[in-house]
Chains A and B, each alone.
Chain A
Amino acid sequence: MKSYYKPLQILLAEDDENDRMNFNEALAASKMETNITMVNDGVELMEYLEQEDAEVPALLFLDLNMPRKNGMECLLEIRQMPKYRDMVIAIYSTSSSEKDIEQTFFSGANVYMKKPTDFAVLKEMLHKIVTSVNVYSQPPFNIANFLLKL
């Protein structure tokens, strides 16, 4: 019952400004109570997470292709940190290559979201993920369901 009143803490690691803007707008359109924090690359992300008093976000949207430190490296490091072991990590990437999907799945990501080409789809996808956080955090984890489909 508590979660209904507390806004959902969402962290977005994304280097592209346009994408951040689109993400923000699309999430806002979902009319969910959310509190969004954004970092510009992997290094910034890790610095943010390593803060002693950092609150554990309910959901991390992680871009794979980022300067300085890419999403894959960040994913591996985060899953080493006990504090963030149960945090739901959604991969948010342009790529939908088998290789990336497989690697991120086995490295502990919960869901793989391919950046859509249509704004309406983006809104829909974000809505689906945000409303199903609890589903993604729970096992069983199945690679067949790993890639988000509408």
Chain B
Amino acid sequence: MNKVSQSFVRVRIIYVATTLLLVILSVYAFIQIKSLIDAANSMINANKITETLQNIATNIVQAESSSRGFLLTKDSIYLLKMTIALNKMQKQRVELNQLINKKTDTLSNFKAIDSAIDKKIAHLLPSSFSVTFPQNSVYSQNTLKDSIEEFDVLCESLHLLKKKDSSVLANNINEYNHQSILTPSFMIAFFLGGILVLWASYLKIIKTLREEQILQRALLLQKEEIEKKAEELIIINQNLLQESNENKSNSDSLLIANKEIAYELEEKEKRAEELVIINQNLLQESNENKSNSDSLLIANMEIAYELNEKEKRAEELIIINQNLLQESNENKTNSDGLLIANKEIAYELEEKIKRASELIQINKELELFAQIASHDLQEPLRKIQMFSSRIKEKEFENFSLSAKSDLEVIEDAAARMQVLIQDLIAYAQTNNDERTFEEIDLKVIISEVIDSLKDNLHAKGVAVDVGEMCNAYIIPFQFRQLMTNLISNSIKFSQAGVPNKITITSCIEKGDSNMHKKLEITKNYCHIVYKDYGIGFSAKYNEKIFEVFQRLHGKETYKGTGIGLAIVKRIVENHKGIITANGKTNEGATFDIYLPTN
């Protein structure tokens, strides 16, 4: 681009220079021609002056000779001739005057000539007077003599003027010659220069045009290349479009496959739920069967715990699976991972089904155990206690000290055994699903429980504050058991010397997953808050406290089998509810119970 603009500037400079040169040339030529014409005019003028001077001289001579002829002849014809000559001369004088006016340098000479001519005419005129006065004839010798001298002076002046004029003419001719030689050569030189400049500019323009042509060709080539590239790009874009379409269809089919997987998962979940229901039905049927096993209960609880764990894991896997489903919308490879995860879930489900069938068997056996424990297991124990009490009543006085102490050990152990068996029965029976749900005012049930425990509450100085309570959909005797266990615990774990207090409130509220992850936001729950100000427990036992046989204190400090809260949890779970514990050492415990409203 710079090059092009540079060449434009150059061309412009050349043209401006050429125009200037031509203008200068024209002006110079005009001046030259003008001076040539001037020179020619002055030459012609000089010639005319010379010629007029000659004529004046001739007429003066004529008038002189005519006057002399008159003087000699006294013939008037000579006088007439002289007058004619003088008149002619007067005309020529006017002519000369006009010619000389143009030239100032000859004017002074001309004035001298003019005065000389006037003097001559004045001399000639007396002779004309003599014509009128012929008798006078005083034309003296002096006068004639003066006239001749004057004539000589005049001739001399005329001759001088002529000479001067001819020298001017010679100068003019010289100059004219000089000019006529220089002017053509200058003209030629200037024209040649102008032609050269024109040629130079022509060449420059041609060169620029060629460069432009080359540039244009290069531009054309570049344009073609760009077009080719654009075509290639279009082809590439079309390929990309095709590929993306294929990808889309792939991902669509993937989405469908994933939906099918999700559907299958749901079906499996449903089947699992159905199995749970079947399980429950089987549990009911199993009430009548009998057999023995002490370790069954523990095994059952372990398996129940494992089942819970499995369920948790299955839920986690379902969440993972859902995430994988989302990802697979964009990426095909992820769906492979999803398939693997799905297989894992299927495997977990199989495991769960296996566990469920095992649980059915174990629950049957547990029910049998509850039956046995209620009657057959308690029977011999009761007899031990009964007869030891009889011995104590009748024979105690006759016993040695060590025998007395031994009997007391027997009674203690038997009493502990009894409590243990009773708690185990209670625990086993809370698994029973035969119970019917009723909508009951919780305040009524809690009042009943407080009433049944009033002696213990009074003995330990525990106050119970029942606040606003709502209705709940519950199994009445189970809920009664739950409250009994909680309040009994609070009484048992009061701080020595510090009056304990229990507060119970409840209300209906929406499920808040912040409170517990298993609470569903769409459901309403009866939320019961049970709080006491006893010895409490460390927050690290918040979960563990619900486990069977879990004791945080030695038998000597606080009596108990460690089954009470396990029963509480089992009852809450029978209600499809959730219970959480929150302990603070030496400050008390809070239990949050969430029961579904239907």
Q: From residue 57 to 100 of chain A, which have CB atoms closer than 8 A to chain B?
A: 64-65, 93-100
Q: Using C-beta atoms within 8 Å of the partner chain, give the interface range for chain B.
A: 20 to 34
The answer to the question of A127 belonging to the interface, with a C-beta cut-off of 8 Å to chain B, is no
- Known contacts A65-B376, A94-B379, A95-B378; is A22 also within 8 Å of B429 by CB? no
| A118 interface residue (CB < 8 Å to B) | yes
- Across the two chains, which residue of chain B brings its CB closest to A63? B375
A50 to chain B, nearest CB (A): 26
On chain A, the residues within 8 Å of B422 by CB distance are 96
- The interface residues of chain A lying within 8 Å CB-to-CB of B387 are 18
Are the CB atoms of A98 and B477 closer together than 8 Å?
yes
Contact of A65 among B375, B390, B414, B425 (CB under 8 A): B375
Whether B448 contacts A94 by the Cβ 8 Å rule is: no
Q: Is the CB of A117 within 8 A of B382?
A: yes
Question: By the criterion CB–CB under 8 Å, are B378 and A22 in contact?
Answer: no
Q: A95-B374, A117-B385, A118-B386 are in contact. List 18 more A-B contacts (CB 8 A).
A: A16-B379, A18-B383, A18-B386, A65-B375, A65-B376, A93-B375, A94-B378, A94-B379, A94-B382, A97-B425, A99-B429, A102-B477, A117-B382, A117-B414, A119-B389, A119-B390, A120-B393, A122-B386
A residues near B414, Cβ cutoff 8 Å? 117
Q: Mark B411-433, 1 if CB is under 8 A from A, else 0.
A: 00011001000100110010010
Question: Which 8 pairs of residues, A with B, have the shortest CB-CB distance?
Answer: A117-B385, A95-B374, A65-B375, A118-B389, A119-B389, A94-B378, A97-B374, A119-B390
Q: How many residues of A contact B (CB 8 A)?
A: 22
Determine how close the nearest CB of chain B comes to the CB of A125; give it in whole angstroms.
12
Tell whether, in the assembled complex, residue B477 and residue A97 are in contact, meaning their CB atoms are under 8 Å apart: no
Q: Which residues of A contact B385 (CB under 8 A)?
A: 117-118
The contact of B374 among A22, A94, A116, A118, by CB within 8 Å, is A94
Kindly list chain A residues whose C-beta atoms are within 8 Å of the C-beta of B415: 117
Interface residue B370 (Cβ < 8 Å from any Cβ of A): yes
Chain A residues contacting B389 (CB-CB under 8 Å) are: 117-120
Given contacts A117-B389, A119-B389, A120-B389, contact A95 B382 (CB under 8 A): no
A98 — nearest CB in chain B belongs to which residue? B477
- Which single residue of chain B is at the shortest CB-CB distance from A102? B477
Inter-subunit contact A64/B477 (CB<8 Å): no
Specify the chain A residue showing the minimal Cβ separation from B385. Answer: A117
Q: B residues within 8 A CB of A99?
A: 429, 432
Residues of A within 8 A of B429 (CB): 97-99
Residues of B within 8 A of A96 (CB): 374, 422
On chain B, the residues within 8 Å of A115 by CB distance are 382
A54 interface residue per 8 A CB criterion: no
A120 to B388, CA, bound (A): 11
Asked if A144 is an interface residue, CB under 8 A from chain B, the answer is yes
Bound CA–CA A95/B55 (angstroms): 191
Residues of chain A within 8 A of B376, CB atoms compared: 65
Interface flags, B472-499, vs A, CB<8A=1, else 0: 0000010001000000000000000000
Name which residue of chain A comes closest to B376, CB basis. A65
Residue of B nearest to A93 (CB): B375
A/B interface sample: 9 pairs, CB < 8 A? A98-B426, A102-B477, A116-B386, A117-B414, A117-B415, A118-B385, A119-B390, A119-B393, A120-B393
**Which residues of chain B are near A102, meaning CB under 8 Å?**
477
Measured in the bound complex, the distance between the Cα atoms of B370 and A22 in whole Å is: 26
Give the chain B neighbours of A94 by CB distance below 8 A.
374-375, 378-379, 382
B421-463 contacts to A, CB under 8 A, are 422, 425-426, 429, 432, 448
Q: Interface code B393-413, partner A: CB below 8 Å = 1, 0 otherwise?
A: 100000000000000000000
Q: Which residue of A lies closest to B377 (CB)?
A: A94
Nearest residue (CB) in A for B418 is: A117
B290 to chain A minimum Cβ distance, whole angstroms, is 12
A64 engages B375 (CB within 8 Å): yes
Q: Return the chain B residue nearest A66 by Cβ.
A: B375
The minimal Cβ–Cβ distance linking A42 to chain B, given in whole angstroms, is 14
Name which residue of chain A comes closest to B477, CB basis: A98
In the complex, per-residue mask of A109-150: 1 if CB is within 8 Å of any chain B CB, else 0: 000000111111010000000000000000000001000000
Whole-angstrom distance between the alpha carbons of A93 and B378 in the complex?
10
- Flag if A117 contacts B386 (CB, 8 Å): yes
Q: Looking across the interface, which residue of chain B has its beta carbon closest to that of A121?
A: B389
Q: Could you say which residues of chain A place their CB within 8 Å of the CB of B477?
A: 98, 102
Q: What residue of chain B has the Cβ atom nearest to residue A65's Cβ?
A: B375
Docked Cα-Cα span, A42 to B369, in Å, equals 23
Smallest beta-carbon distance A113→chain B, Å: 13
Smallest beta-carbon distance B437→chain A, Å: 15
| Distance in angstroms between the alpha carbons of A148 and B378 in the assembled complex | 18
Interface string of A4-17 (1 = CB under 8 A from B): 00000000000010
Cβ B375 vs Cβ A95 within 8 A: yes
- Min distance, Cβ B553 to any Cβ of chain A, angstroms: 25
Contact A22 B386 (CB under 8 A): yes
Instruction: State the Cβ distance, B438 to closest chain A Cβ, in Å.
Output: 13
A98 contacts B386, C-beta separation under 8 Å: no
